[in-house]
Chains A and B, each alone.
Chain A
Amino acid sequence: MKCNIRFIIIASACLMALQGVVYAGESAQDIAIPSITSAYTNGSKSYMLALNEVSSSPQKEGAVNAAQAAEFEPATFSGSNAHKYLGLGTLAMVVATALAPKPSEDAVTQAQKDEQESSMHARFGRAAAALAAATVTTGLLAHWDDFHFEDGLSDPDNMHALLGTVGALAMLAAVSQAPEGGHAGIGAAGGVAMAVAVKLTW
């Protein structure tokens, strides 16, 4: 059972990690796309038509032109970006926690307890919980108007907020319960909840 839970965590984390890879590729493609005013787009009729550039084609009678917005560079750092990267960081820490060697659960002496506390597994676990809490906080601040309780759980943002919050609470509970037995299951459930929350609004 314990082995299965670990396997599920790792599989989920691998999927999430791959999302990050794909996103990086996507960003690279975006960088390669020329700007609206470049020679490439000026020569591409489909782009021009979609953007409703005045010079692209004659207008139908009575039609209203809608020229494109001026060149604009979105801010590199924003609340929603912070939320996104903190969430991905949380998932990375969940994976690291699962993969890190576990210290012995039978600590009797103070030295053994200190060793437990300072193990990589414990450190990654605490980092995952801290990042999860930060992710939820930034999500609430940056996306406050994106979720509305009256829309119910079929709304992807509502479900994202619920699963993300439950996941973060589960991770905090797992950290506070460690090294007692059973904390792994709670932490794993929290990680999976977070992963599903990310996928829902990815």
Chain B
Amino acid sequence: MSKIHIIGALVGALIFNSTNVSAEETLWGWLADFQRTKEIKPATDNQYLKECGECHFAYQPGLLPARSWDQMMAANELKNHFGVNAELDKNTSQAILNYLVDNSAEKSYYKRSRKIALGIAEGEVPLRITEVRYIKRKHKDIPEKMVKGNNDVKSLSFCNKCHTQADKGVFDEDTVSIPNYPDWDD
């Protein structure tokens, strides 16, 4: 192995790395992207954060497939959005829908999103993230007393009650802290 080969490999790796860091949209972009993508892509759209995040945790688009967001953002659905009228004007609703669909689970290269998308059967349109197979399986061993019976949690829907870095899209077990159960261990 000559020194030229080694230097060539290093320079090639550097160029490969520096030119494609932010590309996540394509397979090649993902391969060349050295940023960590094992979690869920954080929600960054200001309009989405404002309109949706003011009432509930701003669930990352990568937590559901596009068809779920499509149905959820339909005008008649928003009138009764899990028991609440969450109607938005047409332009705002469309802009948010575009953001959600563009970053939905099946379009993301983030690992948990890929697992979410793979776990949903074709034709299935889950509207509740807690009903997604992957999410259900990840929480199946959590005793009810720690969630429903826990006054500081109450429901799995409140991701950020226990996932301390949920706003960054990090749902790693190491970052879980269940209120009132400091010694919890999976």
Residues in chain A within 8 A of chain B (CB atoms): 3, 6-7, 10-11, 14-15, 17-19, 22-23, 26, 45-47, 49-52, 56-64, 66-72, 74-75, 78, 80-81, 98-99, 145, 148, 151, 154-157, 199-202
Chain A residue with Cβ nearest B52: A49
Given A11-B9, A69-B162: A57 touches B177 (CB 8 Å cut-off): no
Docked pose: A68 CA to B179 CA in angstroms? 11
Given A10-B5, A22-B35, A51-B160: A46 touches B179 (CB 8 Å cut-off): no
Q: Which residues of B contact A145 (CB under 8 A)?
A: 137-138, 141, 186
Identify which of B89-97, B121-129, B168-176 touches chain A.
B168-176
Given A61-B84, A155-B118: A10 touches B174 (CB 8 Å cut-off): no
**Secondary structure at chain A's binding surface: helix, strand, loop or mixed?**
helix
Given A52-B160, A69-B161, A202-B36: A59 touches B55 (CB 8 Å cut-off): yes
Given A10-B9, A26-B36: A49 touches B54 (CB 8 Å cut-off): yes
CB distance from B38 to the nearest CB of A (A): 5
Identify which of B13-21, B63-71, B99-107 touches chain A.
B13-21
The A-B contact count (CB < 8 A) is 145
Q: Which residues of B contact A66 (CB under 8 A)?
A: 56-57, 157-161
CB distance from B42 to the nearest CB of A (A): 9
Docked pose: A186 CA to B27 CA in angstroms? 28
Q: Which residues of B contact A74 (CB under 8 A)?
A: 164, 172, 174-175
Q: Which residues of B contact A81 (CB under 8 A)?
A: 174
B127-152, CB < 8 A from A: 137-138, 141
Give 23 A-B contacts (CB < 8 Å), ordered by A residue.
A6-B1, A10-B5, A11-B9, A15-B17, A23-B34, A49-B58, A51-B57, A52-B53, A60-B54, A60-B84, A62-B84, A63-B55, A63-B84, A64-B56, A69-B163, A69-B179, A70-B179, A74-B175, A78-B174, A80-B174, A145-B186, A148-B137, A202-B34
* CB contact between A47 and one of B17, B56, B167, B172 (< 8 Å): that residue: B167
Q: Mark B102-122, 1 if CB is under 8 A from A, else 0.
A: 000000000100110011000
A11 near B174 (CB under 8 angstroms)? no
What are the nearest 8 A-B pairs in CB distance? A14-B13, A63-B55, A49-B53, A72-B164, A72-B177, A22-B34, A11-B9, A62-B84
A201 near B13 (CB under 8 angstroms)? no
Other 17 A-B pairs with CB < 8 A, given A62-B85, A68-B164, A154-B118: A11-B13, A22-B35, A45-B50, A49-B53, A50-B57, A52-B54, A52-B56, A57-B54, A60-B84, A62-B84, A66-B159, A69-B163, A69-B177, A145-B186, A155-B115, A156-B114, A157-B111
